[in-house]
Amino acid sequence: MFPDLHNVLHGKMHDLQEHGFGETSGSVAINPQQILQILQHPRMNTSSPEGLLYRIFFRLSIILAMRGEEHYDLKIDQFKSDGHDGLQFFRYTSKNNQHLSEDNFYLQPNPSWLENGIWYKTSHIGKNRLNKFMQNIGRETQIDIPIELLSNHSGRKTATQVLQDEEIPEQAIMQLTGHKSVQGVRAYKKINEEQQLNTLKTLINITDDKLSSKQNNSSSQDNSINDNVEITKSRVSLQEISLSANSLGNEIPIFQNCTFSNVSFYIQK
């Protein structure tokens, strides 16, 4: 009912997102192993119209770091020959990402393609159907990602995450994605599994070194204590501990140089 207002708000939302504000967690990135699994799946084979359509869609999603809604606005004349058996892609940067060309890129597959050899119709794939492409790909290739977390925006998240993992400079990532600020790029950053594992290994190594050093320094005392202590889940009243402390003298902590295993302390008033 209010197209002008819709266009203004839509453009403002994009501008805020590019500066690192707004929703960035509604879709999930796809890791390199999952990308390989998808591309090697028979459903992504280019021997059929739908397989070719899915494969092109998936690769463009990542290679061009496309926003979810950009797929529907994609036009064939945004791809130009570079004169060397390659293509150049031109991204239109108007606020509403609109272009006057009627040469749609994603065309509907022709159900009768086996009979007449015509793979596609001249009509554009519907917006609702196209918006489900990434979820359909995830479902049909059976990747280990909750389908509800996949969206057409996942390609953009994937591109940004992969480039960050490879330590590509943020300015170079911005040139590809069209982000207007480094905050917009950093909003997509997520620690990957390898980085998480390295982080945990670092902490484990530190704690192991400290424990081993401490255990070596007090091994003789630990052994004498362990020989006299039964390792059970027993209860000792606070009063008994206090009496033991008095018998040892006030200057010696009762738990000095002690190592406990599978012991629970219950402190009662």
Residue 93 neighbours by CB distance under 10 Å? 7
The residues, any chain, with a CB within 8 Å of residue 179's CB and separated by 6 or more, are: 18, 173, 185
Q: Which of 2-16, 85-99, 238-252 has the lowest mean pLDDT?
A: 238-252
For 17-61, what is each residue's pLDDT tens digit? 555 455 445 678 899 999 999 999 999 999 999 999 999 999 999
Check residue 36 and give its pLDDT. Answer: 94
Distance CA(203)–CA(63), nearest Å, equals 36
172 to each of 110, 163, 181, how far by Cα in Å? 40, 9, 12
Distance CA(169)–CA(175), nearest Å, equals 10
Any idea of the CA torsion for 133, 134, 137, 140, to the nearest 10 degrees?
-90
**Range 111-145 burial, b when 16+ CB lie within 10 A, else e:** eeeeeeeeeeeeebbeeeebbebbbbbbeebebeb
What number is the average pLDDT over the span 147-170? Answer: 88
What tokens were used for 7?
């266009």
Helices (H), 83-229: 113-116, 127-130, 133-141, 154-165, 170-177, 182-186, 193-217, 219-228
H or E stretch covering 81: strand 79-81
What number is the average pLDDT over the span 259-268? Answer: 64
Check residue 52 and give its pLDDT. Answer: 96
Which band of pLDDT confidence, cut at 50, 70 and 90, is reported for residue 267?
Answer: low
H or E stretch covering 57: helix 49-63
Distance CA(188)–CA(164), nearest Å, equals 9
The number of residues in the chain equals 269
H or E stretch covering 15: helix 3-18
What tokens were used for 190?
């997520």
Burial of 233 (0-12, 13-18, 19+ CB in 10 A): exposed
Q: Answer whether residue 77 shows pLDDT above 80.
A: yes
Q: What's the pTM?
A: 0.61
